[in-house]
Structure 1
Amino acid sequence: MTNGPAPSLKTERTTLRRRPNKGVYDRDSIYAILDEAFVCHVGFVQEGQPFVIPTGYGRDGDTLYLHGSSASRMMRALAEEIPICVTVTLVDALVLARSVFNHSVNHRSVVVLGKAALVEGEEKMHGLTVLTNHIVPGRWDDVRPPTDLEMKATSLLKMRIDEASAKIRSGPPADDDEDYALPYWGGIVPVRTVTEPAVDDGRLLAGVELPSYLVDYSRIRPIEG
């Protein structure tokens, strides 16, 4: 009898074959990457044709919620609980080596494998709350809730996070030993996702101020523990 989900999400299918030293499989590391990003790409096959579609998402514990229009190809296909692959990537730096071959990118990426199921009823409202607050924490309680018509036009899928892996590359370039004697620059160019101050739409009612959660809004998540 288990006391909860397994701490490792490593399976035969998620095990990194190339550069296995960059593979990370613990939930905490994988969830930290998922929580910092806010756009994922969903891969699936329909009638023999592969598709990869970007969409918004949110995480609640060990469940991933995926958002889309009720009329979209992806949501209709995934509602049939077909195998899917969800990927997320954060780029941290360009890695410039002394040879073209050894150039790279410092990044943190996640691959989640499984099946998604359509969410209905009260859980659908909960999932949309999770997704909205994932992108802008605190936003759901600060806006008009969706109407019945808007809820019908929106589909929400959920996916258990039971099989996943992260791949993390950090540090300087790894040049060949003999290339360090060459007169070329080597190093990294850091890359960050930066948000600028919020700009109102020019139609605010008198007295409406910028919400506190938008002051210094950032996608970078604090490290816990």
Structure 2
Amino acid sequence: MFVFNYEDIHNSMLYSGQKGVQCFLVVVALLCVPWMLLFKPLVLRHQYLRRKHLGTVNFGGIRVGNGPTEEDAEIIQHDQLSTHSEDAEEFDFGDTMVHQAIHTIEYCLGCISNTASYLRLWALSLAHAQLSEVLWTMVIHMGLKVKSLAGSLALFFIFIAFATLTVAILLIMEGLSAFLHALRLHWVEFQNKFYSGTGFKFLPFSFEHILEGKLDE
């Protein structure tokens, strides 16, 4: 979307209104950066101030009799009863903003890194096409240039070399490279969106462990 040339007549649109949709998506993506940076800290600050305000409001007193006569009764104020607001952890807006800024920067850099990583697969496909062309022009054409019986015999051995190089380089090496890149993309770029690894330890179902009480531990 960033490098698409709308003025070039040779670039055909996939659907009507493609330019407007792509520009809208780019604007939304850019607006998500300040949204991620500011929304969560401001919401947490609002919730903290609201809890603090509710915790310090004096709703009146409760008369508690701690003596034989009513004169000895003591008035306990509401803020003395609900001390959870005083014992609660103080909210530091500056630390929260710094923490959120770090996460926002990491996410933006991760988006760029993930895009570049997936573009690497596109580069591998281009390299695969170029290697195919190189093997065809520099190997097979050597046997096709000689138009005689010797050229036919040479073409037989050249084709063996061409088939060997095709299987070894294009199929095995390029296939293994694409597999490793796809595996890394799935394990790193895809799982870092949601995977944190902070769950429960996996325990396979076993009647022996149930009878021994290991699952309770």
TM over 0.5: no
The higher-RCO structure (CA 8 Å, 6+ apart) is 1
Length-normalised TM-score, structure 2: 0.19
User: Going by fraction, where is helix more abundant, 1 or 2?
Assistant: 2
Whose radius of gyration is greater, 1 or 2? 2
